[in-house]
Amino acid sequence: MDAAEPGAPLCLPPRPVGPPPTVRLLPPGTCDAHMHVFGPVARYPLAAVRNYTPHQVSFVDYRPVMAALGIDRAVLVQPSVYGTDNSALLDTLRQAPGQLRGVVVVPPSISDGDLVGLHHAGVRGIRVNRRNPGGLTLEDLALLGRRVAPLGWHIQLQVEIGQGAPLAPLVESCPVPVVLDHLGLLDPTRPVGDAAFVQVLALLAAGNLWVKLSAPYRVSRAASPYNDLAPFVEALVACRPDRLLWGSDWPHTELWRDMPDDLAPGLRLGLDRAPEKIRQLIFVANPARLYGFEPAEHP
């Protein structure tokens, strides 16, 4: 699902997904911890300040991906193009309340009552996105963390590790868990022993940082299966497998070419070969705990 540049047509047909494989690809209870939906622009206006214009894709378009991969639950993440208007996300949560959770973007001035209302709607976190325009600031992180701590939420942070403000003070001062998007947008040309990645491992080991194993195509310098990321994923899994999440990043916004195949194993970053106990943590148990899903039933 290529994203279109600002001003380009919006309503392109969803990328087709083939029939479900005969063998389930992911464990029962799998949660996709990072995906997006985009509705009709007339109903869900896009922010004037944005760096891409998405195609119109809905939860209905995502269901074939769920069926093909064996995804039972998903987390809707507020995309930057909607700013603090979470209407598309909230309307989608109503379609499958037991199956979906949300991570929103809200102004720091939001009332406690509105936060409680979002919680009842299925929201479990706030996103601070420093990569795309129009997001919250890093200064908002600790303030919002204190506001949502009574609700058991987390802060989802999109930054490039090793760039800008140091990560450690942000995570250590935050009163709620901090979830790092997309492998921290790490630089795979640097070694696993690079200071920025070592800091991520230390914060992960301390327990307040979580990392999403998602969107490898955004950081890898190689084609699928993104082998240059393998040492980093192995180090994360060895450090704290109970603090890792997997996400598809569907529908892969901002990509102009080389759209990844949702069924390709490369998007799962080698976790297909991990021991079953590790797979169960990353795909099922960890997201169930962080996002407040009911425990998955085993066959």
pLDDT at 6: 46
Query: 19-28, 89-98, 121-130, 264-273 — which is least confidently predicted?
Result: 19-28
Q: Is residue 170 part of a domain?
A: yes
Amino acid at 53: T
Query: Is 249 a known active-site residue?
Result: yes
* CATH code for the domain of 111: 3.20.20.140
Q: Is residue 4 part of a domain?
A: no
Query: Domains in the chain: how many in total?
Result: 1
**Three-class DSSP category at 279:** helix
Neighbours of 64 (CB within 10 A): 17
pLDDT digits (tens, 9 = 90+) for 1-53: 444 444 443 444 455 555 666 778 899 999 999 999 999 999 999 988 888 88
Among 7-11, 55-59, 139-143, name the most confident range: 55-59
User: For residue 65, what is the enclosing H or E element?
Assistant: helix 59-69
**Neighbouring-strand partners of residue 127:** 156
At 297 the pLDDT is 59
Q: Could you give the 3-state DSSP secondary structure of residue 90?
A: helix
Render the burial of 40-54: b for 16+ CB within 10 Å, e for the rest: eeeebebeeebebbb
Question: Vertex 192, ends 156 and 212: CA angle to 5°?
Answer: 20
Query: Do the domain assignments include residue 91?
Result: yes
Mean pLDDT: which of 116-125, 140-149, 255-264 is highest? 116-125
Q: What angle do CA 57, 127, 248 make, to 5 degrees?
A: 45
Span 196-234, pLDDT tens digits: 999 999 999 999 999 999 999 999 999 999 999 999 999
For residue range 79-100, list pLDDT tens digits in order: 999 999 999 999 999 999 899 9
Residue 212 lies in a domain: yes
The answer as to whether 22 is a domain residue is no
The whole domain housing 165 covers 31-291
* Residue 21 in domain: no
Outline where DSSP puts E strands in the chain: 31-35, 73-77, 100-104, 123-129, 154-158, 178-180, 209-214, 244-247
Residue 209 is assigned to a structural domain of this protein: yes
The overall average pLDDT reported for the chain is: 89
Q: Does residue 215 lie within any of the structural domains?
A: yes
pLDDT of residue 183: 97
249 Rama class: left (phi>0) / alpha (psi -120 to 50) / beta:
left
Specify the pTM: 0.91
Q: Among the options 2, 181, 249, 262, which is catalytic?
A: 249
d(CA 138, CA 151): 21
**149-162 tens-digit pLDDT:** 999 999 999 999 98
What is the band of 134 on the pLDDT scale with cuts at 50, 70, 90?
Answer: low
